[in-house]
Structure 1
């Protein structure tokens, strides 16, 4: 069962995104990206994942400067999420800010294929 304290904290994080989170969320929100539904600040066990796509069982984590000092904690977090069936992708805030296209290219490889539109505008 989800802890109310974690849910409240996740809500606070959603209302105060970092610059990198805001930039990535712009592309992921409202099924704009590969028609995949993403959520942000999702509570999974004792953790709050930055972005999730349930259909792909994908967690996207953005690591700021502070994460350089938390390598062991990040590894334990990733191990927990993977044990729950999630795949975890990590990007630095700098990657998102300076190379958003590269980040999106990496993410799309982990998403289920979505129907594409033919040149006539009909779904194939």
Structure 2
């Protein structure tokens, strides 16, 4: 990297950012889930839960490897700290997605049970 490129990166990395609108197709589908067949909706959210759980496991595996190489407290001045920080963001996001998908499955399953008991 050139000196001018490094200087530009230093400036950019702490410059304010504009909030980006959320674009999550699964959240959009949840918004309209009342139109869906509950059995198909449960299958969709279980599948997504499994996908997020697999990605979470992958991220946690990489984090474990980094902690093994560098210790629990990675020096923020090392280039590897960027990987470490973004992996933590990924872990938090994937864990939230797993939890939310699990919650959606519970909601849909409870609804299906209530429908079966009433019908």
Comparing both structures, which one devotes a greater share of its residues to strand? 1
Q: TM-score range by the shorter chain?
A: under 0.3
TM-score computed with the length of structure 1 as normaliser: 0.25
Report 1 or 2 for greater relative contact order, CA contacts < 8 Å, sequence distance ≥ 6. 2
